[in-house]
Structures are given as C-alpha cells and as structure tokens.
Amino acid sequence: MEVRIQSIHFDATARLNAFIEKKASKLEKIHEDIQKVEVSLKVVKPEVALNKYAAIKVLVPHGEFFADKASDTFEESVDVCIDALTKQLAKHKEKSRKK
C-alpha cells in the first residue's frame, strides 16, 4: 500500500507524517486490497478555528473512497477521516462478499 501525503502551502512535520502513515496502515486491517492512500492537508485562510483541513482518498480495485474534514488540528481531521473511511471500506467489503 502506497501512502502519499501532500501538504499544500506548508511543510508537514515528520511527526505529523508518521501519525498519518500509522493511521492509514490501520485501513489495511479492514480491506487488504488497498492500492493507494492519498492525503491532502491544507490550512484554510483566514486563520480561525477549524482551519486545519484534511482530505483522504483511498483507491481499491473497483472502487474509490473519499473523506474530508476541517478541525482545530490536523490529527483530529485525519482521525475523523480515517473513521469515516473505515466504515466505507467495511461496507464495501460486505457488499462484495454478498455478490
């Protein structure tokens, strides 16, 4: 599984990148055929609360899943996105089993 992290108009710290890699690896437990995880991070202007935006796209054979969230921290945004993607992947896997 390839994890691509793109931070738009800022440099993400190594700690943040490691956090995202760790969270993304948990998705493999739900769906083992994940080909790529694309993460986009950006700070929404103006500088106000809920300005850390994360968008995550997961590519699997015969499907693509997406979640995005703006929160006070990138970690919180990524957590919410990973939770949403976990549900989407589990639902997709269940549907494909029934076929």
What integer pLDDT is reported at residue 2 of this predicted model? 92
User: Considering the domain 2-98 in this protein, what is its CATH number?
Assistant: 3.30.160.100
Long-range contacts made by residues 58-62, C-beta under 8 angstroms, separation at least 24?
58/27, 58/34, 58/85, 58/88, 58/89, 59/34, 59/35, 60/31, 60/33, 60/34, 60/35, 60/89, 60/92, 61/33, 61/35, 62/96
What integer pLDDT is reported at residue 32 of this predicted model? 86
pLDDT along the chain (99 residues), means of 10: 92 94 92 92 84 95 93 95 95 83
What integer pLDDT is reported at residue 99 of this predicted model? 66
